[in-house]
Amino acid sequence: MEKYFRTDNYKQSVYMTVKGKSKDISASLAMISTENQVKEGEKHTHISFIATSRIDCEAVGFRLGIDTYMDTYPEWNDKFFPTALRCEKEGFWGMFVSPLGKIITVACPGNIVSWKNEYNRSNYLMSDVGHRIYTSSIEFFNVHEQPLRHAKSAKEINANDKYEIDIYYKMVDSVQEGYEYITAKTGILFELPSRYIMQPKESITHKGEEITFDEVGRHIISEEGDAETSVYVRHDWFYYLENASKSAENCQQKAGSHVESWYGYFTRVAYAKILNNTEYTSQLVSEFEKFYKVITNRHGTLAKKALPHRIQNTSGFFELLLEFYSLTGDMKYMERANNNAEVLLKCQHADGSYRSHNIHYTCVIYPAKSMLMLAIKEREIGLLDRSKIHWDSARRAIYDLHKNKDNIGTEGQMTFEDGMISCEVLQLAFLAYNESKNREGLTSVAEEIFEKHKCLQQTIIPDCRTFGATLRFWEARYDINFRYNMLNTPHGWTSWKNCACYYLYMLTGKFEYLKLTMDTMGACMQVIDEQGVLNWAFVADPCIVGETFERGNDGHAVLVPTVVGEKYMPMISDWYRQDPEKLIFQYVLDFKKLKLKRSAGGSCDNDVHEHFKCLTETVFGRAFIHQCDDGKYELYNCYMKNDIFYSDDKHVKTYVIRAIKDGTINISNNNYSIIAGINEINI
């Protein structure tokens, strides 16, 4: 086990934090001892110290020392991501998971008042993108506000105050074994629900009993001594799409250097298709045409300042044009889409990969999937030559992924990166779903890579706000101009994984993929609160000391010192706007020159709309009937009465049915033939 621990400044050690900086605490202690007892697969660390005088600091803690720094392939296979860290009143627990599925469980009984990740960003220059974590730490003193679930901290450390801490580490073979180890060392019990998302009056199983709720919202279902466990009762799916579309109207879609700054147009188009209101569509198209003139050059492709060779900008743009064609039927959008797809074709290398300045970009968002979607639509409307060119290009890019697996590349700082891996799975699965040739081979690799990605998915902590979400931690700097790294879980890019999970279900019929799709969708939809207001993302860390980017009284943007933890962060594009006729760079480059005008622009918070793009592509308008191998049913967005299936969702047009044998099924008093496996029935 020792080989998985750091030996540098982030090794097992006691520290204190003063004005946000970690400092050596040894001069303030009369006695400190760190004793390690190590046996194969297990380690016990005991810490004890007495303060010689009052210690004036914000926090005192202990670095766990597990090496979480993922920077190179294939070395990252033996690094452990801090997949699940949590404080309960009875103590701290966590699981560190490697891409190969190895697990180090950590348990610490007693008053652990907080935890933190040691993020690698040291400043906020563009060259310091901060995509890695050195290790994680626990804290037994912290003056800042913490989640209510945590043990309470002393208000100060005085002379002769004593601290005794025991930390237990163990290599385990499964998450369940990890839970059992935590229970043995801390007394914390784990009683997990059958689902984390449900509808009003729908039953789920918890502790062997069925429970239901009438009210929409988050409900804590655990008892004292249990790990705090919550489930989410959702609105109908249309509620989220409608309110997200309203937000996309209110929050400026900015013509600029990053697709993230105008992603809300995908939500607005999806909403317009469902609303089917001529006046709304006309207004949206008129607005988009003005945006189009600002962001494109005379050839109708992205202007130089819109960074067309940031490949996801180009692929996202022609996919959006494709959506406007689907909305209006106007062929000019197909021509524009083709022109922008030509730009992407020029970025394809001999190995099939799409590259920007020779950096592998096929999995920075999903340009190959966007190209496939364009090819599919072109085939449908008879543009067969174009369709073949675009299909073959995307196919070559995806088979490069099939060959190289996770030995590829990404934007920013190289690491075992959430989006690089989830977008790889998504594109492999999407091609497999749409092409029968080598379907099994593509699916097999997609599943293999998805297994490695699980270390970056929050499926261990029983909290419906984060369950299934991916563990990103560097986006706040770019999206809402927040001055510190923090877990954005879920962030809009979680939905890359969710879309991948959906297609894996459609390909394999494995219930684990369907359940994870739905539970994660429930986490993602909670960014819209009960007042219908869209937030940007959820902060999963318990205590981040940073600076929020806010509107000052004079209309300028200001940085405000703040502490955030386990909370939703608001959008800023509703007030932080730019001149709609100017195309600008969407990052704030220098926070030291922050006397920014209200029209300075520069934010990417509209990337939250990936959730709603995913929603309409996967589960919106669908009901799911999953027949288990024992013949019982798992149902989503529908119910069964007298062997007949119904849905109260007026938008449902398709039933997805996983059957264990050929036969018939009755939906709303109509019989349909089905075959063993996955069926899609349009009603």
What is the sign of the dihedral through the CA atoms of 570, 576, 580 and 581?
negative
pLDDT value for 122: 61
**CB proximity list for 278: less than 8 A, separation 6 or greater:** none
What counts of helices (H) and strands (E) characterise the chain? Answer: 14, 30
pLDDT at 600: 63
Res 281: pLDDT: 98
Residue 37: other Cβ atoms inside 10 A:
10
- Stretch (H or E) spanning 325: helix 311-328
Over residues 395-437, the pLDDT tens digits come to 999 999 999 999 999 999 999 999 999 999 999 999 999 999 9
SS (H, E, C) 622-683: EEEEEECCCCCEEEECCEEECCEEECCCCCCCEEEEEECCCEEEEECCEEEEECCEEEEEEC
How many CA within 13 A on the CB side of residue 23? 13
Give the separation between CA 242 and CA 615, rounded to whole angstroms: 12
Residue 225 dihedral angles phi and psi, to the nearest 5° = 95, -20
**pLDDT at res. 123:** 60
pLDDT of residue 109: 97
Q: What is the pLDDT of residue 593?
A: 61
pLDDT at 32: 78
Mean pLDDT split into 10-residue runs, the chain, 683 residues: 95 91 79 84 93 91 97 97 97 98 97 96 66 97 97 94 95 98 98 97 95 97 97 98 98 96 98 98 98 97 97 98 98 98 98 97 98 98 98 98 97 95 98 97 98 98 98 95 94 98 98 98 98 98 95 83 97 93 87 59 94 98 98 98 97 98 98 98 96
Helix (H) or strand (E) holding 433: helix 418-434
Helix or strand or coil: residue 591? helix
pLDDT at 592: 66
Please report, in angstroms and rounded to a whole number, the separation of the first and last CA atoms in the chain.
Answer: 56
Give, for 306, the enclosing helix (H) or strand (E).
none
Cα of 490 vs its chain's centroid, Å: 4
Tell me the CATH class for 237-618: mainly alpha
pLDDT tens per residue, range 238-255: 999 999 999 999 999 999
pLDDT for the residue numbered 100: 98
Mind spelling out the 3-state secondary structure of 481-506?
A: CCCCCCCECCCCCHHHHHHHHHHHHH
CA torsion through residues 229, 234, 239, 241, sign: positive
Q: What are the structural domain ranges in the chain?
A: 2-190, 237-618, 622-682
